[in-house]
Structure 1
């Protein structure tokens, strides 16, 4: 039986192909001037492994730069960490309101609301009750019935979230998640810190969200996209100053029983099955993160239309039958 990749497995394969020499017949990463070396540090953050790679002749400088990037991420975690009961996000979900919310949370909630409108509801930060329902059912080895899904769906209404600089408020019994955008935003913040520190050529790989920068238009990072079943690499993209994120059946809530994807359609309440995987290239990691989720939920036709409407974005959609569908400009950045 084909092995189902977790998102982390997929990115681990990306790391091998994109950041080390001699990866089979694929070309090696070509971005640094002669003598410039790559130095990497990895830390467990945001529930995944985050690797920061800096191209610089000094390993001490690269190590210090990576440390600054990790500090930037750790500094934001008390706001967005849903596993920390004292985080701003946890307080909002527990109490249904949050007075004097941190500015970065207000900004991200506003961005989530904008994505909700732009995607016709395919991106919805209030999907948490549905996710909880399916996870609890998966733990029992069953799938939720229609009545349970309908009841949970009544709590999924992003338009009921009130966002202001003074207060965040949820509708009755609602709960939100920022998993579809927060990690990308934190990766973007870490990338800014690296650039400000002088580490102008770097790549951050946060378990599914990748942000890359180089100091020259003639240098680029190569990032491989793995199929959900782990069988092949359908594309290898070039990144100079951009991001890539993937969503899909790299994870399953119940793979041993035929499974259903961990991505749910917040409009219907049911798992998405129109694609096996979606990879989006965008200008920043937050956009790539949100778009990869939205395109997966929307399905190939509507997903491609969404990507087409947003300048600087491209996507690759892998079908359950092994088919590939690419946006018009994807091959201009794919190898």
Structure 2
């Protein structure tokens, strides 16, 4: 990726490496604003923290004042779930934990099981979030993208343009265009192509990230509890990182291209037999 400037701030948060590039070094107030933004989000939505809101709901169910991001994320989840025939389900957290991707990273597989029927259990509106039974919410299908958007907004008073926020490969940027390589899922030294991004977001997902055991990885079909096999990597470009992240997840399933079309999202994906597919009008330079 071509940089926007000489100032780079790297740090670890929510289990990944962040990199924020700006023309000038960010002052302490800006860094504090970013840290508060990430801390608030993590305290609400992390299923890896025993004291988070979603962990408390997993233990007790019931109603609670909704975090500020609940409506935006769960509304998008409803569209994402419908497009994929419920293969994407925000209660897949229980299934991921059962298969070993749990709060202590045990990576001990307890076997496949479908996620609970989220549409009958999860309710939101009028500033409240309710789970009719104890259930583990997981917003991983779009949550990191949402947080990237929030961090970009938090930086606006200090870096409204010429800024890149990159959270482990999910990124949003304003200002100068950036050329970004699409990493080959089986060889990190290679790229399958390049995308030029300007004033937009790019999110990617691949089965070689967060993989463990005998062919297990973080993209599970919530209807069965089994990992996806036919798609190995996805990339999506959208005006917001939350939508790019959601489509990058949806593209592992049959309904992904339709959702991307409805949302106006550009995409690329690679199948398990090495073929590369892309959206109509994609501006990606692919090395085919």
Using the size of structure 2 for normalisation, the TM-score is 0.86
Aligned length: 283
Q: CA deviation at 1:120?
A: 2.8
Distance in 1, Cα, partners of 2:263 & 2:130: 30
2:44 equivalent to 1:42: no
Distance 1:112-1:293 versus aligned 2 partners, 3 A rule: same
Q: Which residue of 1 aligns with 2:267?
A: 315
Task: Say whether the 8 Å CA contact 1:39–1:62 is kept in structure 2.
Answer: no
Q: Which residue of 1 aligns with 2:205?
A: 247
Task: Say whether the 8 Å CA contact 1:194–1:200 is kept in structure 2.
Answer: no
Distance in 1, Cα, partners of 2:109 & 2:56: 31
Q: Which residue of 2 aligns with 1:22?
A: none
Distance in 2, Cα, partners of 1:185 & 1:115: 14
Q: Which residue of 2 aligns with 1:178?
A: 139
Q: Which residue of 1 aligns with 2:40?
A: 75
Larger radius of gyration: 1
Task: Say whether the 8 Å CA contact 2:160–2:174 is kept in structure 1.
Answer: no
Task: Say whether the 8 Å CA contact 1:237–1:334 is kept in structure 2.
Answer: yes
Partner of 1:175: helix, strand, or coil? coil
Structure 1 residue ranges (4+ consecutive) displaced by more than 6 angstroms after TM superposition? none
Q: CA deviation at 1:227?
A: 1.0
Distance in 2, Cα, partners of 1:221 & 1:140: 36
Distance in 2, Cα, partners of 1:136 & 1:285: 24
Q: Which residue of 1 aligns with 2:73?
A: 108
Where does the alignment leave 5 or more consecutive residues of structure 2 unmatched? none
Q: Which residue of 2 aligns with 1:306?
A: 259
As a proportion of its length, which structure holds more strand? 2
As a proportion of its length, which structure holds more helix? 1
Task: Say whether the 8 Å CA contact 1:213–1:239 is kept in structure 2.
Answer: no
Counterpart pick for 1:262 among 208, 218, 222: 218
Q: Which residue of 2 aligns with 1:235?
A: 193
CA RMSD of superposed structures (Å): 2.7
Deviations 1:49-79, CA, capped at 9 Å, x for gaps: 111111x2x43x5676455433422333222
Deviations 1:271-315, CA, capped at 9 Å, x for gaps: 11111111111111111111111111x14xx4323322222x111
Task: Say whether the 8 Å CA contact 1:116–1:158 is kept in structure 2.
Answer: no
Deviations 1:219-271, CA, capped at 9 Å, x for gaps: 3011111011125201111111111111121225435x4x2332111123321
Q: CA deviation at 1:212?
A: 1.0
Q: CA deviation at 1:210?
A: 0.7
Partner of 2:6: helix, strand, or coil? strand
Q: CA deviation at 1:183?
A: 1.4
Task: Say whether the 8 Å CA contact 2:91–2:115 is kept in structure 1.
Answer: no
Partner of 2:140: helix, strand, or coil? coil
